[in-house]
Structure 1
Amino acid sequence: MRYLLTLSIGPVQDFIAAARRTADLQAGSQLLQQLAMHLAQHIQGKGGSLIFPASAEQPGPNKVVATIETDDPAAFAQQLREVAVQWLWQQWQSARERMPNVPLDEHLAEEQIKQFLEFYAAWVPLNGDYAQARHQAERLLAGRKALRDFRQVPCRPGRPKSPLDPSRDTVLKLDAGLRIPEQAQQEPLFLKRTEYLDAVSMLKRLKGEKGVPSTSYMAAQAILPIADQQAVTELKRIADNAPGAVDIGDLMFPTRVQEEIEEGEPRLSRYLKEHQADIDRLRRRILDSLSPRLSECPSYYAILAADGDRMGQLISAQRDMDSHRRLSAALAEVAEEMKKVVNQHHGYTVYAGGDDLLAFLPVNQVLSCACELAAAFRKAMEPFRGGSSEAGTLSIGVAIVHRMEMLQQSLEWAREAEREAKRWRNAIAIAMHTRGGVPLTAVTAFKDDPYLDGWRQWLKAFRAGLTRGFPYELQYLAREVENASLSIDSLRAEAMRIFDRKTGREGSAAVKQFRPAYQQRIDTIGNTDELRAFAEQLIVARFLSEYPNGVEVRS
């Protein structure tokens, strides 16, 4: 009998986000994508026909929709679960071979690996009406996912918890005083002295690719592409030859170099100490080559998280399998296109599958990249939109964070920004988390400003000389009159007075040319909340405008 099968693999966001290094993050994403591909290939090998993803050869999301021929769909789904668990166990065994001398609790490791996956499946007979069958299967899958399996996590009394997943104990056999064995602090794990990793986190650490950029690298990418390229090449050569997990971004920050010299693995420590003078000289050359010259490398980078809007509505509009399969193929193609866009903006894609994207970017490429991503996604979904103009758009959340911020926290901030953008839909939400500052989030709808020209305008104004304190006075005004009986005309007049006072009689013509645009924007404000939102957008724009080479939006 023919059935429509839908299955979901997890955990997803929590698993990917459980990372201390960017390589851990990439490895978690890659593991889930490879597992989904493996299951899709197994379904095809059993005579099934894939619908989502359209091909088993492309990295895809953590979900599979397919038709299968079987008399026992429950047994078929159970077999798929066993295939998934066995595949993950094989990945662990291969990783274990790379660290044969690291003392581990093998039994605990096996328990953790084999009990880790969340596997959910639902199926319905396929009797001709594909749209109805898909709707019913999705409802059943949602119900199954709501009935979570609460297995007791295996533990060992007195064993330290994993810092990346505190529900699990470390699988390391520790030395006296709860010290991590020396073998685990060397290649290929390079564990810090307090990284008591569990088996799943250790698998991610071993699967992580060496070429994954660090957060320091992403911060430095704001200047490296426009700096003295000979100096950049020479500094990169020093990083590439280092016997440890450092990249050129790490070498751009003296404190990071000193940290590795004092606390790093002995071979890396000796190497950096021998090359410290050259590192300092090349770093200085890079900073001096910029216009204007910088005293130090910028410390902030951006995490971009994007998600398609009303995709369930878009999928429901596909009334047959062929249409759904074409949509799946289009999603796979646009995922590859979005990777190219991120790469063109000197960024790094952590995950791109289905309608989801997670990427790192230099701060001065965020707006341009976001515009191109939103446009590419809208164009790819256009043939499937039907009568709905709101389905198949992209909501983008961006968190601007310090390179030293905990990666898990930074990822959560990006997800919070994404959720804020999803409240608007077809929008970008930029959340700025400066150290010691109050977090700010500014939201712009792409339907109102598809090229983010409003952002570009205020970036130019600040670079032309608009004072740093100006947006803070607007913010103060909004806060002070929040509960006052001030008319909207008076509020607008006071906002204009602040602009005129800040530019003044001696203000440059370059700044005063923005007064008409400012007046036009103020005339749209209807209450103090809208004024506060505009002020916070200006604060973020002021921060972005200070980056070298500007933050231009490609139109």
Structure 2
Amino acid sequence: MPDSLLIFSIGPVQGFIAEARRAQDLWAGSIWLSEITREALLACQAQGATPVYPADLAQPSLPNRFVVRVPSDRAEQAARAAEEAAQAALRKRARRAQQALAGHVPGDDTWEAIWQRQLDHHLEVHWAAVPIGAGGYADAHQAASRTFEAAKRTRRFEQVLEDGFKDSLGGTRSALRTGEMDGRAYWQAVAGKVNASMLRPDGRERLDALGASKRFGFEVQAFPSVSTVAAAAFLLRAGTEQPELLAAHAQRVGRLGVFSVPQVGQRLPALEAVTWPYDGDLLYQETLTVKRLKADYGVEPSEAGCAAARASLRALEQALGSAPSRYYAILTMDGDAMGEHVSACRSPEELAELSRRLAAFAQQATQIVDRRYAGRVVYAGGDDLLALLPLPDPELAVRDAEGQPAEGAVRPDAILAACDLERAFTAQFAGWPEEALPRRRDGRTVPFGISAGLAIVHHRYPLGAALGAAHRAEKAAKTVAGKAALAVHVLVRSGEPTEACAHWQGLREAYGQARNLFARGALSPRLAHNLAEAAPAFCAPGPEEAFAAEVRRVAQRQRNRSKLSPEQAGEFARHLTGWAASAGLTPPMLAAWLLVASFCTREGGAE
């Protein structure tokens, strides 16, 4: 009897990863889903299956869909075993959270019924198995993919009633409660037993079984908050240039009675030499008030204590010449036409090789984000990536512009990080056999590529909305002809958002040059705003030279005469418009990229 090809997926991804109010929730959901997938794959192996995709089960993040080769008479048995293993892995992590909660506020039959119901109905498992016939592996994979997609369109999951107060993460399931306490009262009681690093005070945060498992089933504060990511560049400079002032501020913060967390280097590996045992939120003047500290940390310090902490922070800001950025970036990346590339593989060995290259990219991506750019990867599995990144620090950008940074130097910049990730992805598939590439109807091959969405948002902006903005940006990048593009959406707290999109080719150089000139003060931010106002007038059909001349004119007017010569301003304008022409950018889109570069340098070192 021939072997079969089994495709198996576990969801919902939204419920595991995207339902989050804190960065810790994102990270925990990602780890949890990978744990469940790994156990399902191991269960298939125990039934005689051979993993095809992913090939490496040891990688930290696994895609939620896998392919195995299994004896046909054991295909259904393997799928059932995988489903049982997935449920067991779900409950193993949940049990840890259940025990933690019982130690704070014991549940009852009502609580237990909600807990069991939500775990019983959460997983969405789909699978399809097709024998590998005379047509070989490629035909079997295409047939299995069609059967699998048909199975996904047939909803087999029972709808259940979720009453009472809803959970704060997804807003669709019942918050855990007891027979005596409703969802608000129960979580208010829990909040009274744990510090604010776990749960917002006064019952303002209510969790269901899945949210509670993310929050209480993992190590506390193993992942940085978005405020810590936003402040990363500031912390990097403070820890290396003004460690005494940073330590003095930490002492003042400690006297306020707020909770401490693991050292920042444990949360942001690039900052391992920096000593800061608190959340990054405590590096903002607006946090250091009696009202905010009571609301967010559950403490009531004196006004004098808050004033002293604000003064120590002000001294640090003055010494560095800047305050922490109030903005950070969420990056999502997704391989282009990866389904076609998977289907184009002619053998299990070829698909396994594709899987190995994707795993190598995931490892490289973690190094790039976590070490080189002072960010943190949430998820890197297969061709998907989700990461949090800080904006550039203007002072560091100036130093880089004046000379090459030292080998291994940490240089926060979300857009440059995205560009380096794209280069790493493309390099992984250099030399891939052309005959193994998918083809369009006209015979053209489809190269390996990746598109990305980057949302730049305020650190107090709701995380769910920020994630949505990043995914919308990624979708915009995918709509560009040929894909292989980056879209950036900047969401300011007041004013119109800025949206920019371009292919990767030439983007790193054009953005980097503009960023450095803005950071040095060689060009005024008014350059970007003036061109944004003028650009619509140049959208009608006409010579491209007209807008190029306008760029040169405005660059001359907005240059700092002591830092940029007329010749240098002209050369910058020619390089910029040349890139725009080769990339097919409209005048408004070129202006949008200048607005993005100006914003990143301005907000990266907020004054």
Q: Same fold (TM over 0.5)?
A: yes
Residues 235 and 151 from structure 1, CA distance in 2 versus in 1: closer, same or farther, beyond 3 angstroms? farther
Residues 526 and 215 from structure 1, CA distance in 2 versus in 1: closer, same or farther, beyond 3 angstroms? closer
Corresponding residue for 2:117?
111
Corresponding residue for 1:223?
234
Corresponding residue for 2:274?
none
Residue type matched to 1:361 in 2? Answer: L
Task: Report if aligned partners of 1:461, 1:511 keep a CA contact under 8 Å in 2.
Answer: no
Is 1:205 paired with 2:215? yes
CA distance in 2, matches of 1:83, 1:475: 56
Residues 467 and 260 from structure 1, CA distance in 2 versus in 1: closer, same or farther, beyond 3 angstroms? closer
CA distance in 2, matches of 1:184, 1:528: 56
| Most deviating of 380-389 and 87-96 | 380-389
Is 1:263 paired with 2:295? yes
Corresponding residue for 2:278?
247
Corresponding residue for 2:471?
415
Alpha-carbon distance, 1:453 to partner: 0.8
Alpha-carbon distance, 1:498 to partner: 3.6
Corresponding residue for 1:42?
43
Residue type matched to 1:415 in 2? Answer: H
Alpha-carbon distance, 1:508 to partner: 5.6
Tell me the alpha carbon deviations over residues 247-280 of structure 1, each in whole angstroms, 9 at most, x when there is no partner: 34021013334355322465xx158989756643
Q: 2:319 aligns with which of 266, 283, 289?
A: 289
Residue type matched to 1:434 in 2? Answer: V
Corresponding residue for 1:79?
81
Residues 181 and 69 from structure 1, CA distance in 2 versus in 1: closer, same or farther, beyond 3 angstroms? same
CA distance in 1, matches of 2:325, 2:605: 13
Corresponding residue for 1:518?
573
Corresponding residue for 2:363?
336
Structure 2: gaps (5+ residues): 262-276, 393-412, 438-444
| Most deviating of 39-48 and 345-354 | 39-48
Corresponding residue for 1:130?
137
Tell me, what secondary structure is at the counterpart of 1:435?
Answer: coil
Tell me the alpha carbon deviations over residues 339-359 of structure 1, each in whole angstroms, 9 at most, x when there is no partner: 011112111110010011111
Report the number of matched residues.
Answer: 539
CA distance in 1, matches of 2:543, 2:305: 65
Structure 1: gaps (5+ residues): 551-555
Residue type matched to 1:58 in 2? Answer: Q
Tell me, what secondary structure is at the counterpart of 2:310?
Answer: helix
Task: Report if aligned partners of 1:239, 1:251 keep a CA contact under 8 Å in 2.
Answer: no
CA distance in 1, matches of 2:250, 2:489: 31
Residue type matched to 1:152 in 2? Answer: Q
CA distance in 1, matches of 2:228, 2:140: 48
Alpha-carbon distance, 1:398 to partner: 1.1
Instruction: Give the share of equivalent positions with the same residue, in percent.
Output: 28
Tell me, what secondary structure is at the counterpart of 2:158?
Answer: coil
CA distance in 2, matches of 1:130, 1:119: 24
Residue type matched to 2:568 in 1? Answer: Q
Task: Report if aligned partners of 2:43, 2:81 keep a CA contact under 8 Å in 1.
Answer: no
Is 1:214 paired with 2:225? yes
CA distance in 2, matches of 1:368, 1:211: 26
Residue type matched to 1:478 in 2? Answer: A
Residues 399 and 537 from structure 1, CA distance in 2 versus in 1: closer, same or farther, beyond 3 angstroms? same
| Most deviating of 145-154 and 515-524 | 515-524
Q: 2:90 aligns with which of 88, 91, 109?
A: 88
CA distance in 1, matches of 2:582, 2:427: 34
Is 1:543 paired with 2:554? no
Give the 5 Å matches for 1:52-451: 52-59=53-60, 60-71=62-73, 73-100=75-102, 101-104=104-107, 105-127=111-133, 129-156=136-163, 159-173=164-178, 175=181, 178-185=184-191, 186-187=193-194, 189-192=198-201, 193-209=203-219, 210-227=221-238, 228-232=242-246, 242-243=258-259, 247-258=278-289, 259=291, 261-264=293-296, 266=298, 269=299, 276=306, 279-290=309-320, 293-294=321-322, 296-344=323-371, 345-364=373-392, 365-384=413-432, 386=434, 388=437, 390-424=446-480, 425-446=483-504, 448-449=505-506
Q: TM-score, normalised by structure 2?
A: 0.81
Tell me, what secondary structure is at the counterpart of 2:6?
Answer: strand
Is 1:456 paired with 2:529? no
Corresponding residue for 1:553?
none
Tell me the alpha carbon deviations over residues 257-304 of structure 1, each in whole angstroms, 9 at most, x when there is no partner: 4355322465xx1589897566435423432332xx12x321001111
Task: Report if aligned partners of 1:103, 1:181 keep a CA contact under 8 Å in 2.
Answer: no
CA distance in 2, matches of 1:74, 1:208: 33
Task: Report if aligned partners of 2:258, 2:297 keep a CA contact under 8 Å in 1.
Answer: no
CA distance in 2, matches of 1:141, 1:355: 20
Alpha-carbon distance, 1:334 to partner: 1.6
CA distance in 2, matches of 1:13, 1:175: 29
CA distance in 2, matches of 1:473, 1:106: 61
